[in-house]
Amino acid sequence: MADVRVTQSHSLSRDEAKHQMAGFEEMMKKYGVSAKWSGGHADLKGTGVKGSIDVSDSKVQVELKLGMLAKAAGIDPARLEKSIRRRLKEALEGA
């Protein structure tokens, strides 16, 4: 089960929504998390975290599983979820 799961609806095409995720990806890179895309799905991997992004015609879903290192560093899943929710909304509504 994911420690963090955020779903953001949108009114863009799947390709447009994926394109709008570029800013979100740049933010993730600042935290050492990279995305490897295959169609509308990306696997996320970073130090102490792994997960996925799924982009459909109506929503984007981000799921993260925090590893022991992230938990030991004191990362609060509720705070992380709130931050991701805000950034996803900005990315998809800023189109």
Sketch the domain layout of the chain as residue ranges. Answer: 4-93
DSSP classification of residue 20: H
48-77: pLDDT as tens digits: 899 999 999 999 999 999 988 888 888 889
* Token representation of residue 36: 């490897």
For the stretch 18-41, what's the b/e string if a residue is b when 16 or more beta carbons lie within 10 angstroms of its beta carbon?
A: bebbeebbeebeeeebebeeeeee
Task: Classify domain 4-93 at the CATH topology level.
Answer: Double Stranded RNA Binding Domain (3.30.160)
DSSP classification of residue 68: H
- Please check the confidence at residue 1 and state whether its pLDDT lies above 50: no
Closest CA to 22 of 60, 51, 50, 78: 60
- Please check the confidence at residue 95 and state whether its pLDDT lies above 80: no
- Please check the confidence at residue 2 and state whether its pLDDT lies above 80: no
11-45: pLDDT as tens digits: 999 999 999 988 888 888 988 899 999 999 999 99
- Please check the confidence at residue 94 and state whether its pLDDT lies above 60: yes
pLDDT at site 81:
93
